[in-house]
Amino acid sequence: MAHGDPTTGRTPTRRTVVRGSLGATAALSLPLSGPAAPAQALRGRPSADWGVQAGDVTSSSGLVWVRSDRPARMVVETSATESFRGARRWTGPLIGPDTDFTGRTALHGLPAGEQIHYRVTLADPDDPRRTGEPVHGTFRTAPERRRDLRFLWSGDLAGQGWGINPDRGGYPIFEEMRRLDPDFFLNSGDTIYADSPIEPRVELPDGSVWRNVTTEEKAKVAETLAEFRGNFRYNLLDANYRRFNAQLPSVVQWDDHEVLNNWYPGEILDDDRYRVKDVNTLAARSLRAFSEYFPIGTLPPKDEDGRVHRVVHYGPLLDVFVLDMRAYRNANSPGRSAHDRQGILGARQLRWLKRELSRSRAVWKVIASDMPLGLVVPDGDSDFEAVTQGDPGRPLGRELQIAELLRHIKHQRITGTVWFTTDVHYTCAQRYDPAKAAFPDFAPFWEFVSGPMNAGGFAALKLDGTFGPDQRFVKAPTRANTPPTEGGQYFGQVDIDGGTGEMTVRLREEGGAVLFTQVLQPGRVGQ
């Protein structure tokens, strides 16, 4: 098996990654704002202190990301070896202030199922001989034939004011996940908390103090494009996160906190913290910054439509269907309507998802959902934020759209669908059983929830009986917004056996504990 041991976390040596991921650079030493002053730019060379990332990797392609400290030409080299003998050269974009000095380069024609070593060099646009120090990364391309696969998933980073704490070594969960050596990481959303300022100190219930690294952009809620960009840049101050990004690719989606808590299109804010009250304006600024700071192929500049939902094909065993339950939803409401075409996905995205699921020939069809299906997530006293609304009867409101999707999966005989999500700041697993459901016209399936990575923990939510969830495991705090120092930071691990096709899902807690394990057999449903 190509991966480290799932319990010990032992991992193959990666000299290139360690050398190139800025592991020796303390987080506090990184720049906290934009490009260097003109006098510095004249003396220096372009620098990529924010590390590198790869994303949406397939069997033959991938995207590589970098950020410069000044205008520069992005150049990528790839090789099968750390020596970079016989390297291929990819000339990337000229990056500057229009993208906050970030750039992405698309790699095509890569060998399937192989370890790809890459290095990014930034060159002075006026003198290509003046280059910065190369920054190294690596990733495995998806296989064309069946082989063992591993991916991790989680979400919710720097929420509720719990930021980069130097006393904890920053974000330690990323180092723990890195050592498991997955093929990729599924980031399930809330990649930032644009609505959660980061204070230098937080008094803890036991009298101790949580200390945060802070920046100017994190001193208030994000409203301007510069402030949204600063929120994404904040997390890259952590050396653990940069090492993690340099070792494996990610598949990234968004949820609400990339803009603000529980937002929906067309919302007008009644919040004294905001001068900009139009949520559509805030969402457009956030999506632009999101597209600048993550390597996602369906976002600008490659795709001007700027859609987050997409399919990432990862060989014959796995397709990942990334949903966007935020940008196309209707307004949060009591959710009791008997007719709802827009729902939480929008009619167009639902048609896309049904079509792509029907086309998929992968053994496993992972549905990456940024919100859970059966957990009742309130928004205020009477409205609801997710799919269900606590009425265990026939589908109403947004449940109608999910019922249509589940019916389609059953009647089209689509096997191997498994749902993965985060959002609720605890971990749980539930099997949806039509024999226990008010709406029985679907095939049984599993949903796994795991998170946060570095945010407050919250108590478990109620389950809605419409789709018959049978909760097999849950671990959650008993009070709201528990700090990461009390535990409760979670991620999930998924292993697919290349020979049998068997999928093993583990719910893990930061610190090494495996809390729950479920084995799923290919070609069957709801086991």
pLDDT of residue 44: 78
pLDDT in the model for residue 31: 44
Residue 364 CB-half CA count within 13 A: 31
In this structure, is the dihedral angle defined by the CA atoms of residues 225, 231, 234 and 235, taken in order, positive or negative? Answer: negative
Can you give the pLDDT at residue 33?
41
Residue by residue, pLDDT tens for the chain (527 residues) are 444 433 333 333 333 333 333 333 333 334 444 444 444 444 579 999 999 999 999 999 999 999 999 999 999 999 999 999 999 999 999 999 999 999 999 999 999 999 999 999 999 999 989 999 999 999 999 999 999 999 999 999 999 999 999 999 999 999 999 999 999 999 999 999 999 999 999 999 899 999 999 999 999 999 999 999 999 999 999 999 999 999 999 999 999 999 999 999 999 999 999 999 999 999 999 999 999 999 999 987 655 567 999 999 999 999 999 999 999 999 999 999 999 989 999 999 999 999 999 999 999 999 999 999 999 999 999 999 999 999 999 999 999 999 999 999 999 999 999 999 999 999 999 999 999 999 999 999 999 999 999 999 999 999 999 999 999 999 999 999 999 999 999 999 999 999 999 999 999 999 999 999 999 999 876 55
Could you report the per-residue pLDDT of 298-318, keeping only the tens digit for each? Answer: 987 655 567 999 999 999 999
Q: What is the predicted pLDDT for the residue at 434?
A: 98
Find residue 153's DSSP bridge partners. 186, 492
d(CA 215, CA 375): 35
Options 3.40.50.720, 2.40.440.10, 3.40.720.10, 2.60.40.380; CATH for 51-141 is 2.60.40.380
Q: How many angstroms separate the Cα of 227 from the Cα of each of 49, 158, 214, 219, 419?
A: 20, 15, 13, 10, 33
Q: What pLDDT score does 23 carry?
A: 35
Whole-angstrom Cα distance, residue 177 to residue 187? 12
CA 170-172-177 angle, 5° bins: 140
Residue span(s) of the chain under CATH 2.60.40.380 come to 51-141
Of 322, 379, 375, 382, the C-alpha closest to 349 is 322
User: Which amino acid makes up residue 195?
Assistant: D
Which of the following CATH numbers is that of domain 149-520: 3.40.50.2000, 3.40.50.300, 3.30.470.10, 3.60.21.70? 3.60.21.70
DSSP 418-473: EEEE--SSSEEEEEE-GGG-SS--S--EEEEE---SBS-B-PPPPBPGGG-EEEEE
Looking at the chain, how many residues does it have? 527
Q: What are the residues whose beta carbons fall under 8 Å from the beta carbon of 291, sequence distance 6 or more?
A: 299, 300, 306
- Distance between CA atoms of 517 and 526, rounded to whole angstroms? 15
Among the listed residues 247, 185, 248, 241, the one whose alpha carbon sits nearest the alpha carbon of residue 213: 241
pLDDT in the model for residue 524: 73
Question: What is the reported pLDDT for 391?
Answer: 96
Query: Cα separation of 143 and 318, whole Å?
Result: 10
pTM, full prediction? 0.92
Contact 349, 371 (CB under 8 A): no
- Give me 378's structure tokens: 């309130």
Name the residue with tokens 């018959």: 468
Cite the DSSP H helix spans in 84-237: 172-178, 225-235
DSSP one-letter code for 352: H
In 92-220, alpha helices (H):
172-178
pLDDT per residue as tens digits for the range 46-68: 999 999 999 999 999 999 999 99
As annotated, the residues of the chain forming the CATH 3.60.21.70 domain(s) are: 149-520
Which pLDDT tens digit goes with each residue over 334-381? Answer: 999 999 989 999 999 999 999 999 999 999 999 999 999 999 999 999
Residue whose pair of structure tokens reads 């495995």 in the numeric block: 140
Close Cβ partners of 199 (under 8 Å, ≥ 6 residues apart): 161, 212, 214
CA 428, CA 472: separation in Å to the nearest integer? 8
